Amino acid sequence: MKNMGFRWYGAKDDAISLQDIRQIPGTTQVVGALFDIPVGEVWPNDEIAALKQEVTEAGLKLEVIESVNIHDDIKIGLPSRDQYIENYQQTIRNLSAYGIKVICYNFMPIFDWVRTDLHFPLADGSTDLAFQHQKVEGDPEDILRSVQDNSNGYILPGWEPERLAQLKELFAAYKDVDAQKLTENLKYFLDAIIPVCEECDVRMAMHPDDPPRPLFGLPRIYKNREDMLTIEQLHESPYNAFTICTGSLGENPANDVPAIIREFVAKDRAPFIHARNIKFMGTEGDFHESAHLSSAGSLDMYEIMKALYDTGFDGYIRPDHGRDIWGENGRPGYGLYDRALGISYLNGLWEAIEKGNK
């Protein structure tokens, strides 16, 4: 399928090369970022230019950025947010000058996605990321440290040691921020940046909260269809859009992922898709991630791809996380082999659906 992408952490920090990515059949896009720029600062033109050039010279395209992260002061609603928002506007302008079309971001307080196991053993000897509720009861700091200790030395986004060291202060800063306040702060942010996006033709694509439920007492505001309708109305514009992450939304069995895709792709509010499968364990909504195949997990990937096809999806898509297989021992969730298998499978589903419809 057109615009199939692969997330890449950059030549310095990724064991996977652009050449490796180019050899995955049917892959045209790199989903990249400048990982060294501290959250809140303007992304410099020369560094964007260098990344763009590197990707282009490898025969690939760079049109999606994941993520330009949002400073906590914006999410908390502190007076200092205005400066951070101005910086964000400038980053959007800079990225647009290099042909960036979509910026994926999330609006989760303090943490990016959270898992309780980074090497959850599966029956076939592979390992994957998992989330078990019972393991998040307790001090977040202890939990995050024990998870981080088991991450092959990679630093998970939002879990950097300097942030973990400030965890208590961060939690204190969020003490008056409930879901309503967080939503108001999102509106303030969107009202300021969407006009710039319209001018620059760059679409903001908000990633769902993962897992899609309040965690450690922190609010979550993109968990399901109703939340999407709320967010959409905060600032009406095709530039205020969504990343639909099938795994994140699918982690709540009440979410009908193909139906969400049909609704939001049909009205052109979902320019970016993360495709992955998860497998529920027990009754609490605990899950481990799985191979992309429908039969390996709890989501019907055929129905997901069919929903995209039927609604005329022509945006960007990437496999999301993968298992650790064939002894790779890579960055948790972001190894080469299982994500490449995911791409082949997704492309296979797409070809079959497309030809079946001719």
Q: Which two tokens stand for residue 311?
A: 């609604």
Smallest distance from ligand DNO to CB 193, Å: 15
* 339 near Mn ion, judged by CB under 5 A: no
Residue whose C-beta lies closest to Mn ion: 245
Q: Is 320 marked active-site? A: yes
Q: Is 300 marked active-site? A: no
* 292 near Mn ion, judged by CB under 5 A: no
Q: Please give the Cα distance from 336 to 358 (Å, whole number).
A: 33
Smallest distance from Mn ion to CB 272, Å: 10
Phi-psi region of 95 (alpha: psi -120 to 50; beta: other; left: phi over 0): alpha
For residue 315, count other CB atoms closer than 10 A to its CB: 21
Which of the ranges 42-50, 100-108, 119-127, 186-194 carries the binding residues for ligand DNO, by CB under 6 A? 100-108
Q: Is 334 marked active-site? A: yes
* 104 near ligand DNO, judged by CB under 6 A: yes
Q: What is the DSSP letter of 221?
A: -
Q: Please give the Cα distance from 118 to 143 (Å, whole number).
A: 12
Which of the ranges 53-61, 159-167, 242-250, 335-343 carries the binding residues for ligand DNO, by CB under 6 A? 242-250
Q: Kindly tell me which of 24 and 244 has the beta carbon lying closer to ligand DNO.
A: 244
Q: Kindly tell me which of 24 and 70 has the beta carbon lying closer to ligand DNO.
A: 70
Catalytic residue among 320, 324, 338, 345: 320
Q: Is 71 marked active-site? A: no
Q: Please give the Cα distance from 330 to 319 (Å, whole number).
A: 16
* 271 near ligand DNO, judged by CB under 6 A: no
Q: Is 288 marked active-site? A: no
Which of the ranges 173-181, 227-235, 241-249, 261-269 carries the binding residues for ligand DNO, by CB under 6 A? 241-249
Q: Kindly tell me which of 113 and 239 has the beta carbon lying closer to ligand DNO.
A: 113
Q: Which of 196, 234, 185 is nearest to 79 (CA)?
A: 185
**Under 8 Å between Cβ of 62 and 55:** yes
Catalytic residue among 88, 222, 334, 345: 334
Sign of CA pseudo-dihedral 326, 332, 335, 340: positive
Catalytic residue among 104, 222, 239, 274: 274
* 294 near ligand DNO, judged by CB under 6 A: no
Partner from ligand DNO, Mn ion, none binding residue 131, C-beta < 5-8 Å depending on class:
none
Partner from ligand DNO, Mn ion, none binding residue 292, C-beta < 5-8 Å depending on class:
none
Q: Alpha helices, DSSP H only, in 130-235?
A: 140-148, 161-165, 167-173, 179-200, 225-234
Which of the ranges 179-187, 244-252, 294-302, 307-315 carries the binding residues for ligand DNO, by CB under 6 A? 244-252
Is it true that the peptide bond before 211 is cis, omega within 30 degrees of 0?
Answer: yes
**Under 8 Å between Cβ of 68 and 100:** no
Q: Which two tokens stand for residue 16?
A: 């996977």
Q: Alpha helices, DSSP H only, in 174-326?
A: 179-200, 225-234, 246-250, 257-266, 301-310
Q: What are phi and psi of 136, to 5 degrees?
A: -100, 10
Q: Which two tokens stand for residue 47?
A: 């560094």
Among 251, 320, 324, 338, binds ligand DNO (CB under 6 A): 320
* 105 near ligand DNO, judged by CB under 6 A: yes
Q: Is 104 marked active-site? A: no
Task: Find tokens 């982690």 and name the residue.
Answer: 251
Task: Please identify every residue annotated as catalytic.
Answer: 207, 245, 274, 320-321, 334
Which residue ranges make up the site for Mn ion (CB under 5 A)?
A: 245, 274, 320
Interface residues toward ligand DNO, by CB under 6 A: 66-67, 104-106, 112-113, 207, 210, 245, 247-248, 274, 320
